[in-house]
Amino acid sequence: MNILTDTLPESVVIGDKEFAIRTDFRVCLKTIMAFEDPDLTPQEKASILLSNLYPEIPSDVETAIQQANLFLNGGKVSDDEGESGPRVYSFSKDANFIFAAFRQTHGIDLQKVTLHWWEFLALFMDLGSETTFCQLVSLRKRVKTGKATKEERAAAREMGDLIEVPEFDDRTLAEKEAEAEFLRKIGHK
């Protein structure tokens, strides 16, 4: 798929049937933000993904989830085996910085436009290095990979919560409950 020459997808094929998919960037961002929510179970996240992206939820739920994830990934198959590096941004936490970066780099007011998710992704990947968002992401990456200077580490400590982006917690509900029970037994609150 070439964004310059091909029409952006509005549906996915599951089995022998085509299913419409919601392509608005806001819908996709809300879906991704649900996956950032540590309070939601994997089942709740899957349900949100299906109900947000599909006007008609396919009966083959497993394939529907795979196709939705492929769509959210811009049509690129993710390599789960490869190291993607530390998580350095969050659409939830960094929303204001991302909004401002779109305005600063592309002159786009995200409140006033309609964008296909893949258009949003292309523009997001080209946000200017002079934006606060990109500078924050760069600092987070250097700190998390141990490449930050002494001064950068000190600045990051002063930034406190702003610099922290928690990794995704993809444990099952049973694993989370087992940890909580263990912590209760040892007197940790």
Listing DSSP states for 83-136 in one string gives: --------TTTTHHHHHHHHHHHH---TTS---BHHHHHHHHTT--TTSHHHHH
How distant, in Å, are the alpha carbons of 44, 81, 183 from that of 169? 14, 18, 17
The confidence score (pLDDT) of residue 1 equals 87
Rounded-to-integer distance, Cα 120 and Cα 116, Å: 6
According to DSSP, the residues that pair with 18 across neighbouring strands are 13
* Range 124-141 burial, b when 16+ CB lie within 10 A, else e: beebeeebebbebbebbb
Distance CA 33, CA 74 (A): 16
Rg (alpha carbons) of the chain, rounded to whole number? 19
pLDDT score of 124: 97
Q: Which two tokens stand for residue 10?
A: 């509005």
The pLDDT, as a whole number, for residue 148 is: 94
Paired tokens of 101: 């970066």
Q: End-to-end alpha-carbon separation of the chain, Å?
A: 50
If phi over 0 gives left and psi between -120 and 50 gives alpha, with beta otherwise, what is residue 160? left
Per-residue pLDDT of the chain (189 residues; tens, 9 = 90+): 899 999 999 999 999 999 999 999 999 999 999 988 888 888 999 999 999 999 999 999 999 999 999 999 999 987 654 456 788 999 999 999 999 999 999 999 999 999 999 999 999 999 999 999 999 999 999 999 999 999 999 999 999 888 888 776 666 666 666 766 777 777 765
At 178 the pLDDT is 73
Give pLDDT, residue 181. 72
* Element housing 170 (H / E): none
pLDDT (0 to 100) of residue 84: 66
Question: CB atoms < 10 A from the CB of 38, how many?
Answer: 10
